[in-house]
Structure 1
Amino acid sequence: MLAIVASLVIGGVWTNTGEAETARKGVSVDFKHGRLKVAENKRFLAHQDETPFFYLGDTAWELFHRLNREEAERYLEKRRAQGFTVIQAVVLAELDGLDTPNAYGDKPLLDNNPIKPNEAYFQHVDFIVNTAEAKGIFMGMLPTWGDKVVKAWGKGPVVFTEENARIYGKFLGSRYKDKPNIIWILGGDRLADQVEGIWRAMAKGIAEGDGGNHRMTYHPQGGQTSAKWFHEDSWLDFNMLQSGHSHFDLPNYEKVAADYRRTPIKPCMDGEPRYEDHPVNWKPENGWFNDFDVRQAAYWALFAGAHGHTYGCHDIWQMMAPGRQPISSARNNWYDVLDLPGAWDMLHVRNLIESRPFLTRVPDPAIITAGQREGAGRLQATRGDDYLFVYTPYGHSFTVQMGKISGAKVKAWWFDPREGTAALIGTFTNDGAKKFDPPGEPKRGNDWVLVMDDAEKGFFEPGK
């Protein structure tokens, strides 16, 4: 496989991290396993043949609107190499998406009318969807950004009613009915208060158009979850929350755990956590989120019960480039930050999760009997029937209750979430309690995952 050197651009200065990464070989997802469905236990997504599906998303909100075809190919190929399985992008984009044309001079709607789509614009959308399909990538497709339904802030304009939302939804559903790589994401960073009917009409139209072929969710405003408005709606296949970008160490695991406890049971995830290279609380003087922050958000959410996770980079969601007004102090061009270390770290997340059977995985805080911490150093634990994971953000020591998984003996490993490598600790009897002390001195960014397996199962090295 191809070795890539991870690089980053901070403050306009190119810096080589010196860290070689290995690109994923082949398609990201094999669509031969069939369309997506909610798994039998209602906690995860799976293909029709029961093959588990791990939702690893990236936010490329302005992909359809701002990139030309060569740029879209470049972006999608990089994300394929990094193991992303879903790209979240918006058809009627946030940044003046109705009145500023795409790279080919085409606007999405004629007369800003949702029932009059512009065929030329949608041919460009088709190209990107088809390119993603060839690479084994799902498009997490937002029919519109939320400001076209309820302005609140941003450019708008509001153009949707219940009537035209259903017609527009049916148009989209019909157009992409036979595509294997679509996940519909309604919403777009907005509350649904008092406009629930518009979103429900759009969902109904999509279902009428695609015959229920694709899964559907809702992307809410920061600090909220789709469950607030739509948890009991049959069209909502899984819940999505946005933990957002307001401060370091935001405990997104709390919101994931709250959605996990809801009934009826539905899969849940954080669809917009803190972005890499984003100013904390939108203010550069507060500092910037980096690779550790995105790893922390990912492991906290997944080990709290999320079925998948979305990464984001502040410069990439808006496709920042020369001549464009930076949003919220964006400081780098999108094409210069494709190799930020946090993006490659998401490949390590995927490799770890997929290296063990995950459709039966559950959160289990009781695994930790001593050493739990609150705040930035919060430990998060999860297990399957025959393995367990414990994430320690700062590398603090902790004690594990043995006997939580099957097997008379267990094999323990340290998984390095920065490098994607594992080191064997040893084999132990599976009873009593045992203390584990991660490598290095405890500090921010010295994060590790303890992996413990039933020794008789013969699992490969974690992440392999």
Structure 2
Amino acid sequence: MNERMLLFTIFLLVYAGQPCASDSPVFPLHISENRRYLVDQQNRPFLVHGESSWEIVWRLTREETSDYFAKRAAQGFNATLFNILPDSQDPFAKNRYGEAAFANPLDFTTANETYFDHAEWVVAEAGRHRMAAFIFPCYLGISDSWIDELHANGMEKAAAYGKVLAERFKKYPNVIWVMGGDRDPEYAMPEHTALAHAIHQYDPNHLITFHGREHSSADLFHEKAWLGFNLSYNYKETYTQSHQDWHRSPIKPTLMGESGYEREANDWRYGTPQRMRRQAWWALLAGSCGHFYGTAFWHQKPGWRESLDWPGAGHMRIVREFFEALPWQTLVPEFEKQLIVAGNGEYGSKDDYIIAASTPDHKLVVLYMPVARFLGLDLSFYPGPVRARWFDPTAGIFSEPFQLENVKYVRWDERIAPPARECDSDWVLVLEADD
């Protein structure tokens, strides 16, 4: 049996004793007892493994939407993220069935029932594919977008709109609300707050988070009662915001909600498959309870169907299989840097930083190395030898296990040198110690 098959077998065995999907409700999700991650209705850890379908409500037909979710679910994604309202730079924009969201965008009480019926259907269809639906009730936008319309409606109408949405969508267990949308509320803060409070009041059983500019929701709303968990947005080193959120009080889960997109050149890193892997592994080992992946066709314009088969999606499936074969929810970020004593890389400014997490007893350690190089480890605190394996995040394959002594490795040692590979040089190192 090859190592990829072994990993998948472990993945199946972990869940073999659990109730099957037909008799085991997953949604709505809620916060774990230790407030570090999300759990399903059976209190099982739910690793958010999401994909971004931002404009699916108004870009695609129902048949296309069904195809989209079926493909993503088959690839292992268990969450999706999208706007309820159409392209906000044209508030009169219509969906594929010729329906606009409002008769008058400056008056949210003029909602088009037919438009929102279709939005409901999209949420329900995501649920049919066992995907959590992270939905934006009023996307504020990168430029002007819906922030002006929200502000013009005033607090009373914003609250009324929130009540209508909450009462309409609360029957769908897979819903998670996302306030904001690529922008902080700024001058529309009163209306944004009224909208959030109304949704929280009339739909108390679904979690709410916030997505703003490139920072964490905690920077603005961490202590707000309506914010169930934090969401980070970072095109650079995804571990930095996850680390910051981990240390905040009160404790709330943190989720990497957006970073670079595959084949989208939003900065000098470009959207390579390696970047997709790097930002996911970085976030999860830095304390994030999940992550989102996307492609340059996040807007579902022509070409979206072909983009579903880009290599990044397959690499993301490997991420999920790897973590769900482990007690991932028990991993704690390595802040003290007592394990890695050489070859760390530069924190917060380059793409070479090695991230690590371990169980509290250090019997399981996972390290992600973005660039292959010498690695110095201090294993002297272990009472005996440590079992080690390299894991290839591009193929989902483990190396043969090897043993490391409980000493400090500060010089080159071929045993802890990652295997050679023709292309990308990122690797994962797994250390396991006996009782």
Counterpart of 1:262 (choices 234, 239, 248) is 248
How far apart, in 1, do the equivalents of 2:367 and 2:102 lie?
49
Shift of 1:409: 4.8
How far apart, in 2, do the equivalents of 1:179 and 1:123 lie?
13
The residue aligned with 1:330 is: none
Q: How much identity, in percent, do the aligned residues show?
A: 32
The residue aligned with 1:451 is: 430
Counterpart of 1:216 (choices 208, 213, 229) is 208
The 3 A distance-change label for structure 1 pair 124 and 413 is: same
Q: Is structure 2 residue 117 aligned with structure 1 residue 138?
A: no
Q: What secondary structure does 1:32 align onto?
A: coil
Structure 1 stretch 71-80 or stretch 190-199: which is displaced more? 190-199
The residue aligned with 2:408 is: 433
Counterpart of 1:117 (choices 99, 111, 117) is 111
The residue aligned with 2:387 is: 411
Say whether the 8 Å CA contact 2:334–2:358 is kept in structure 1. yes
Matches within 5 A, 1:188-199: 188-199=181-192
Q: What secondary structure does 2:329 align onto?
A: coil
How far apart, in 2, do the equivalents of 1:94 and 1:388 lie?
44
The 3 A distance-change label for structure 1 pair 152 and 320 is: closer
Q: What amino acid sits opposite 1:178 in the alignment?
A: K
Q: Give per-residue Cα distances to partners, 1:9-47, cap 9 Å, x unaligned.
A: xxxxxxxxxxxx99x999999862453211122211112
Q: What secondary structure does 1:413 align onto?
A: strand
Shift of 1:444: 7.5
How far apart, in 1, do the equivalents of 2:138 and 2:217 lie?
16
Q: Is structure 2 residue 299 aligned with structure 1 residue 318?
A: yes
The residue aligned with 2:4 is: none
How far apart, in 1, do the equivalents of 2:23 and 2:187 lie?
40
Q: Is structure 2 residue 179 aligned with structure 1 residue 201?
A: no
The residue aligned with 1:227 is: 218
How far apart, in 2, do the equivalents of 1:199 and 1:53 lie?
29
Say whether the 8 Å CA contact 2:147–2:185 is kept in structure 1. no
Q: What amino acid sits opposite 2:174 in the alignment?
A: N
How far apart, in 1, do the equivalents of 2:381 and 2:127 lie?
40
The residue aligned with 2:3 is: none
Q: Is structure 2 residue 276 aligned with structure 1 residue 304?
A: no
Counterpart of 1:370 (choices 311, 324, 342) is 342
Q: Is structure 2 residue 82 aligned with structure 1 residue 100?
A: no
Say whether the 8 Å CA contact 1:28–1:83 is kept in structure 2. no
Say whether the 8 Å CA contact 2:208–2:226 is kept in structure 1. yes
Shift of 1:424: 2.6
The residue aligned with 2:257 is: 271
Q: What secondary structure does 1:228 align onto?
A: helix
Shift of 1:356: 0.9
Structure 1 stretch 230-239 or stretch 432-441: which is displaced more? 432-441
Aligned residue pairs total 406
Say whether the 8 Å CA contact 2:134–2:176 is kept in structure 1. yes
How far apart, in 2, do the equivalents of 1:130 and 1:35 lie?
13
TM-score, normalised on structure 1?
A: 0.81
Shift of 1:428: 4.2
Q: What amino acid sits opposite 1:254 in the alignment?
A: T
Q: Give per-residue Cα distances to partners, 1:119-175, cap 9 Å, x unaligned.
A: 21122112222221121101001112104xxx8434765244222221111112111
Q: What secondary structure does 1:109 align onto?
A: coil
Counterpart of 1:238 (choices 222, 226, 229) is 229
How far apart, in 2, do the equivalents of 1:174 and 1:154 lie?
25
Shift of 1:392: 0.4
Q: What secondary structure does 2:400 align onto?
A: strand
Q: What secondary structure does 1:158 align onto?
A: helix
The residue aligned with 1:7 is: none
Q: Give per-residue Cα distances to partners, 1:167-222, cap 9 Å, x unaligned.
A: 11111211122222111111110122343322221121112222x1111100111x
The residue aligned with 1:394 is: 371
Give the helix-richer structure, 1 or 2. Answer: 2
Q: Give per-residue Cα distances to partners, 1:72-121, cap 9 Å, x unaligned.
A: 11110111011111100000133546311101111112322322322211
* Unmatched tracts of structure 2, length 5 or more: 1-7
TM-score, normalised on structure 2?
A: 0.86
How far apart, in 1, do the equivalents of 2:184 and 2:22 lie?
32
Tell me how large the CA RMSD over aligned residues is: 2.7
Say whether the 8 Å CA contact 1:275–1:294 is kept in structure 2. yes
Q: What amino acid sits opposite 1:310 in the alignment?
A: F
How far apart, in 1, do the equivalents of 2:311 and 2:22 lie?
22
How far apart, in 2, do the equivalents of 1:155 and 1:93 lie?
10
Q: What secondary structure does 2:111 align onto?
A: coil
The residue aligned with 2:237 is: 251
The 3 A distance-change label for structure 1 pair 29 and 354 is: farther
Q: What secondary structure does 2:84 align onto?
A: strand
Q: Is structure 2 residue 399 aligned with structure 1 residue 423?
A: yes
Say whether the 8 Å CA contact 2:392–2:427 is kept in structure 1. yes
Say whether the 8 Å CA contact 1:82–1:347 is kept in structure 2. yes
How far apart, in 2, do the equivalents of 1:455 and 1:207 lie?
46
How far apart, in 2, do the equivalents of 1:354 and 1:344 lie?
16
The 3 A distance-change label for structure 1 pair 34 and 158 is: closer
Q: What secondary structure does 1:214 align onto?
A: coil
Q: Is structure 2 residue 320 aligned with structure 1 residue 350?
A: yes
The 3 A distance-change label for structure 1 pair 444 and 274 is: farther
The 3 A distance-change label for structure 1 pair 93 and 30 is: farther
* Unmatched tracts of structure 1, length 5 or more: 1-20, 245-249, 322-332, 457-464
Structure 1 stretch 73-82 or stretch 112-121: which is displaced more? 112-121
Q: What secondary structure does 1:414 align onto?
A: strand
How far apart, in 2, do the equivalents of 1:301 and 1:280 lie?
19
